[in-house]
Amino acid sequence: MSTEARHRLYVCWSLNNPGNEQEVRELSAAIARQRDIPGVLSIQDGPRTRQVDWEGPEDSFDYAMTLTFDTFDSVRAYPPHPIHQDLVALILRIGSDIKGFWIDL
């Protein structure tokens, strides 16, 4: 088991039109492009599930993603990266209420 920390970003947001399949496809493609940013090890994303018996305490988002980074330097380089900025612009165009946080594993 590796003792080196992995840095993970969790982000969720609301969509203006969560049923708009074209916007969700565009969003998914923009998230997939985050893999092209140096230091991104993995990405997972998807819509909030509503098919469980318990929705949890937070119900103000429609979509979420998690990214894992290799080093803290990669974490610091991520926010200003142009590919990331394209994703932010898209989310702000089709959604709102972006909430994110970092953890080290």
Q: What is the pLDDT of residues 5-61, one digit of tens each?
A: 689 999 999 999 989 999 999 999 999 999 999 999 999 999 887 655 666 656 678
Fold of the domain spanning 15-49+62-98: Alpha-Beta Plaits (3.30.70)
Rounded Cα gap, residues 71 and 62, in angstroms: 29
**Exposed, middle or buried by CB within 10 Å (0-12, 13-18, 19+), for 100?**
middle
pLDDT of 3 higher than 80: no
Rounded Cα gap, residues 91 and 98, in angstroms: 8
- pTM here? 0.85
> Mean pLDDT across the stretch 94-99?
93
User: Which pLDDT score is estimated for 1?
Assistant: 44
